[in-house]
Amino acid sequence: MRVQDVRVLELKDVTLLIGDEADQKALLHEATLRFSGPHFCAIVGPSGCGKSTLLKIIAGLHEPTTGSVHWEDRDLSTEGDLAPSEIGYVPQFSIAFDHLDVWENVETAMRLRVRGLDAEQRSERTEHILHEVGLDGIMDRPVGVLSGGQKRRLSLALEMVTSPALMLADEVTSGLDPKAEKEITALMHKISRDENCIVLNVTHSLSHLDLYDSIVVLHEGHIAYHGPTRYLIHYFDVARPEEVFPRLARKSPGSWHRSWVKHRAAYDAPANAELEAAAARHEKVLAAARAANPVVALERVGDTGDLPEHPPSSGLADPCAPAQSYEAACSPLREDRDRPPHHRPPGAVSQFFTLLGRRWKIFRRDKGQFWIHAALVFGFPCLVVIFALEGLPAIQNLDAAPGANPLQQLVEANRYLVQSTSVGSLVSGLVMFQVILLTLMGANNGAREIASERLVFEKEKLGGLRPISYVLSKAAFLFVLVAVQSAWMALFVKLICRFPGDLFQQAGLLFMVNAAMTSVCLGISSLMRSAEQASLVSVYLVGFQLPLSGAVLALPEFLGAASRPFIAAYWSWSGLLQTMKDTRFYEAVQTVTQTGLSPVEVCFWVLGCHVILGLFLAWMGCKHSRWE
């Protein structure tokens, strides 16, 4: 047993400005706050007042323009951010995967965030967490079928895997029915006590204030109030908490801020007899006014002039400590509630295999995605072979004998040229058709892979996930898809159309163009703000492949030299044709193209550079934060 640890979070004159000097706007203005755990605080205010901004500054997602954030006497701006295990951040959006069940989501989060647990320990802790949040009865249910309240419980459970000392919840009760809202609020209150942590909850609701230890009221980035919830209606001189927001509109944000700075000292001690008496008098007056004339009571606008301006000298309690007795605050915790030491996240290799296993599990369960990929794998090669179901036509020899008359020789030469041109166009077209279809597959493979789950990744990165593990797990998953798509394309077309040349070289070049486009589109996916944007840019990229490859029309020399290094389709098309160099089909192709062809080895090398460039872009994009 040990005495309960006390965690302290403090903001000192924190200001966040956006825009240039000529048109700056303060999202947060000189915010000074202090919390000591265990503590449960509501952060409220009208829309756009800076509530979520405040949480993101505490979490380290935004750097304040001025001021500082301190955690346990540590200045986070100079001494490093909170460790991933110290903080839990519950955003507004879902941070779970719909195709996994409740247990799998929590157990996977533990694998990604907590080092050194064996399977039995993970299982025990997962079961304990699900019991704590009330999801143990539906732990085998897919997340996609959960209700809104159940998903919010799961979001809290995912953050409990490291027993954080600080938990930030951003509107986790928004959109819930009153019953679910009360249950989630009560759950967060319970977590603050059971986990001995500070829980800050951004909310629009002023219901269930009895569950909070304190409340912060923000108005256009200014602190209008921060103190015990039982003093809220007295401070704002209103009849009900719901009237606080309309009351804020009666004065400017700066006026509210200055008023709070003036009266803040009076709220530094919850056990303030003078303040308690003033609050009681206020409530008695309002009760009498409501009884006499409800309309007048609701329209009263006071100036908090009867508040004491100085705290009593005997006030020793923390301004934001939970409302509990001294004996309760100092009683030792039960052993099962003792906070474990800070958890270290697993190594990069362990995270890689966890992510890869999760990705394959989701792929197998997402029937829509699975059948789309199957249709592309088996359907696209069929589009190629319908142009040569009987195989490539043979190129006839010149039939005119050496002694034939000139007219007959001219006719035979023309016939040979026409037939050779036709075969050359067919071969070149079939090769390019394969290449373009595989670039389309590559775009489909990579374009949505990161962008569609970007917010979940950002949350996991805040929890200690390494971007390199994430990108490499995506690359490993996509490698298998690319290999299957390319190998089947090469083999099927080879068997039906009877392409000459080395099958392994041809399959390798098809694999490389698919891998190059997949990697580049994966990089695009990491740089875009939405999956739709990533898909659109990737389709445009594929659209440029055919005209800029030079396979259909020769480009001007300067344009070809400038664009060719970036056109993966050219290098695959060129390499595939070079594999037929010792056949008459190569000669036939030469009659229909004016674009120079590059050696096979060079084509492999350039396409390999495309793959590396795409993965590098994906890694850089994942390192850069893209919170909404």
Tell me: the pLDDT tens digits for 144-176?
Answer: 999 989 999 999 999 999 999 999 999 998 888
pLDDT digits (tens, 9 = 90+) for 178-206: 899 999 999 999 999 988 899 999 998 88
The predicted structure's pLDDT at residue 316: 34
**pLDDT bucket at 485, cuts 50 / 70 / 90:** very high
The predicted structure's pLDDT at residue 20: 74
Determine the Cα–Cα distance for residues 221 and 53; give it in Å rounded to an integer.
Answer: 9
99, 92 contact by CB (below 8 A): no
Q: Which domain holds residue 230?
A: 8-86+164-311+318-335
Q: Are residues 239 and 298 in the same domain?
A: yes
pLDDT digits (tens, 9 = 90+) for 545-582: 988 888 777 778 788 788 889 999 999 999 999 998 88
Q: Are residues 245 and 377 in the same domain?
A: no
Write out the two tokens for 542.
Answer: 């594929």
pLDDT at residue 44 tops 60: yes
> What is the 3-state secondary structure of 121-179?
HHHHHHHHHHHHCCCHHHCCCEHHHCCHHHHHHHHHHHHHHHCCCEEEEECCCCCCCHH
Q: Are residues 44 and 78 in the same domain?
A: yes
Q: Are residues 612 and 493 in the same domain?
A: yes
Write out the two tokens for 193.
Answer: 């006590």
Number of separate helices (H) and strands (E) present in the chain: 23, 10
Q: Identify whether 434 is part of a domain.
A: yes
**pLDDT bucket at 279, cuts 50 / 70 / 90:** low
- The number of domains in the chain is 2
Q: Are residues 498 and 460 in the same domain?
A: yes
pLDDT at residue 511 tops 70: yes
Domain final residue, candidates 269, 300, 335 = 335
Kindly state the average pLDDT of the residues 313-319: 37
pLDDT at residue 305 tops 70: no
- Name which residue leads in pLDDT, 145 or 395: 145
Give the range with max mean pLDDT: 224-233, 302-311, 320-329: 224-233
Q: Are residues 193 and 331 in the same domain?
A: yes
Give the range with max mean pLDDT: 326-340, 493-507, 583-597: 493-507
Q: Are residues 329 and 462 in the same domain?
A: no
Q: 43: closest CA among 246, 217, 221? A: 217
- Among 137-151, 248-262, 314-328, 579-593, the least confident range: 314-328
Q: Identify whether 370 is part of a domain.
A: yes
Write out the two tokens for 227.
Answer: 């103190």
The predicted structure's pLDDT at residue 535: 94
Q: What are phi and psi of 221, to 5 degrees?
A: 85, -5
Q: Identify whether 347 is part of a domain.
A: no
Q: Identify whether 474 is part of a domain.
A: yes
Q: Are residues 506 and 556 in the same domain?
A: yes
- Sign for the pseudo-dihedral over CA of 71, 72, 73, 74: negative
- Name which residue leads in pLDDT, 23 or 416: 23
**pLDDT bucket at 320, cuts 50 / 70 / 90:** very low
The predicted structure's pLDDT at residue 337: 42
Determine the Cα–Cα distance for residues 473 and 210; give it in Å rounded to an integer.
Answer: 46
**Cα–Cα distances in Å, from 258 out to 15, 244, 263?**
15, 17, 9
- Among 246-255, 277-286, 390-399, 498-507, the least confident range: 277-286
Write out the two tokens for 359.
Answer: 């990705």
Q: Are residues 362 and 451 in the same domain?
A: yes
pLDDT at residue 271 tops 80: no
**pLDDT bucket at 282, cuts 50 / 70 / 90:** low
| Percentage with pLDDT > 70 across the chain | 83
Kindly state the average pLDDT of the residues 255-269: 82
**pLDDT bucket at 357, cuts 50 / 70 / 90:** very high
Q: Are residues 270 and 306 in the same domain?
A: yes
The predicted structure's pLDDT at residue 420: 73
The predicted structure's pLDDT at residue 278: 59
Question: What pTM was computed for the model?
Answer: 0.85
Domain final residue, candidates 335, 368, 395 = 335
Q: Identify whether 289 is part of a domain.
A: yes
The predicted structure's pLDDT at residue 422: 80
Rounded to 5°, angle at Cα 74 from 73 and 76: 140
Determine the Cα–Cα distance for residues 345 and 74; give it in Å rounded to an integer.
Answer: 21
Q: Identify whether 591 is part of a domain.
A: yes
pLDDT at residue 426 tops 90: no
pLDDT digits (tens, 9 = 90+) for 435-464: 999 999 999 999 999 999 999 999 999 999
CATH of the domain at 217: 3.40.50.300
Average pLDDT, the chain: 84
Q: Are residues 328 and 455 in the same domain?
A: no
**pLDDT bucket at 413, cuts 50 / 70 / 90:** low
Q: Identify whether 129 is part of a domain.
A: no
Kindly state the average pLDDT of the residues 469-494: 96
Q: Identify whether 81 is part of a domain.
A: yes
The predicted structure's pLDDT at residue 318: 44
Kindly state the average pLDDT of the residues 582-590: 81
pLDDT at residue 395 tops 90: no
pLDDT at residue 389 tops 70: yes
**pLDDT bucket at 319, cuts 50 / 70 / 90:** very low
The predicted structure's pLDDT at residue 376: 93
The predicted structure's pLDDT at residue 403: 59
**pLDDT bucket at 291, cuts 50 / 70 / 90:** low
Q: Are residues 362 and 274 in the same domain?
A: no
DSSP annotation of 499 reads -
pLDDT digits (tens, 9 = 90+) for 53-94: 999 999 988 899 999 999 988 888 888 778 888 899 998 888
The predicted structure's pLDDT at residue 132: 92
